Amino acid sequence: MKERNISLDAMKGFVILLVMLGHIINLNKLNDPYIYTIIEAVQMPAFIMISGYIGGFRAPVDNFLQWKNIMCKRGKSYVVPFFMWLFLKQWDNLAEGFVNTIFRLDRGLWFLMTLFILNGMLYTAQLLSKGFRNRSKLYAFFGFCMIFCVLSIILVLQLAFHSTFLTPELTLRYIPPFIIGYFVSAYKEELIRLISNRFQFVLFIISAVFFITACWKYHISSDTYFLYVMLIEIAKGLLGCYVIFYLFLKSKKNVIKEKLAWLGKYTLEIYTVHFHFATIFNQGRIDFGLYSWKGILFVIATFCAMSLISAALIYMVKQVPVMNQLMFGKATK
């Protein structure tokens, strides 16, 4: 495995740990104005940016057959598990559950469908901008951006007409980290020539300071203007993503990084399973905050139990190839 891949897998492993911790804090309603605000701001933007970054590794789509093949592959990885888990969670009233979830993705595993839509936009823009790539790299860049913006405008219009089909708000919110991750990967050599290591480090320090400050000091009320809220959330997410990317892409190979990279291979499985057990020890009588001995021990015990149960369930599902494909979007090797 190449170092670059280890870094990306380690990032995914680190972020899924943040997701697990965040769900324990949030779903158990523990009082925490510090750790959870940081986790909430960066967890999903980081996953989305990693996905965009990985998308920049492969050559652009050149023909419809390539587009069809890669979208079928993404459909098996994202769409199939999305609907499988929808069925498992709402089988007793499937028709109503299906309609409600399609028009409000956050009722289900929205992350999977949003990733599929973003990948669809990416590869469609690549396909339609093929003519620009025949001229120069600069033409290819602007041609791709123009077509991707047109596809994004469709989502904006959908939002403007109050259509909630496939929740365009979520896709729009995560376009910036996804497309930035893609560009950083696709134009990595050009960026390395333009941006010195010293400047990258300075930007890392500035991003870390502004990110933590924004998370702890900038609280948005529920009646704040929607677009303003979205822009603030996007900005916080991008700052946090840069901090995580810098730390993992610049760090050398070590034991911790290797362990996180191993965990990062199973992020989709962990993501779909773990939160069902985040309240396993919650009897509805939690009267303590996170920053107490009870709170700390509760989080540790819940994290351990949730991890063990999730690992056992994931292992059992993976023993049945068809279930591995349906629930986790992965073919058994």
- pLDDT tens digits along 11-66: 999 999 999 999 999 999 997 889 999 999 999 999 999 999 999 999 999 999 99
pLDDT of residue 331: 79
Q: Are 249 and 10 in contact (CB under 8 A)?
A: no
pLDDT of residue 227: 81
pLDDT of residue 135: 84
Structure letter (DSSP) for residue 196: -
Kind plus residue range of the DSSP H or E element containing 242:
helix 226-250
Which residue type does 251 have? S
Rg (CA), the chain: 20
The residue ranges of every structural domain in the chain are 3-328
- How far from the centroid of its chain's Cα atoms is residue 298's Cα? 27
What is the pTM for the complete model shown?
Answer: 0.94
pLDDT of residue 36: 94
d(CA 117, CA 74): 10
Of 1, 2, 8, whose CA–CA distance to 260 is shortest? 8
Residue 1 has pLDDT above 70, yes or no: no
The lowest-confidence range among 2-16, 225-239, 274-288 is: 2-16
The lowest-confidence range among 110-114, 226-230, 254-258, 263-267 is: 226-230
Of 204, 189, 248, 230, whose CA–CA distance to 46 is shortest? 248
Residue ranges with strand state E in 196-306: none
d(CA 21, CA 28): 11
Question: 221 is written with which tokens?
Answer: 């009320």
Residue 4 has pLDDT above 80, yes or no: no
Q: Are 60 and 188 in contact (CB under 8 A)?
A: no
The lowest-confidence range among 97-101, 114-118, 131-135, 199-203 is: 131-135
What single string gives the DSSP state of each residue in 62-114? Answer: -SHHHHHHHHHHHIIIIIHHHHHHHHHHHGGGHHHHHHHHHT-GGGS-HHHHH
Residue 223 has pLDDT above 90, yes or no: no
**Structure confidence at residue 264 as a pLDDT band (50, 70, 90):** very high
pLDDT of residue 333: 63
pLDDT of residue 3: 45
Q: Are 186 and 61 in contact (CB under 8 A)?
A: no
d(CA 269, CA 252): 27
Does residue 236 sit in helix, strand or coil? helix
pLDDT of residue 222: 57
pLDDT of residue 136: 83
Handedness of CA 313, 80, 173, 237 (dihedral sign): positive
d(CA 248, CA 243): 9
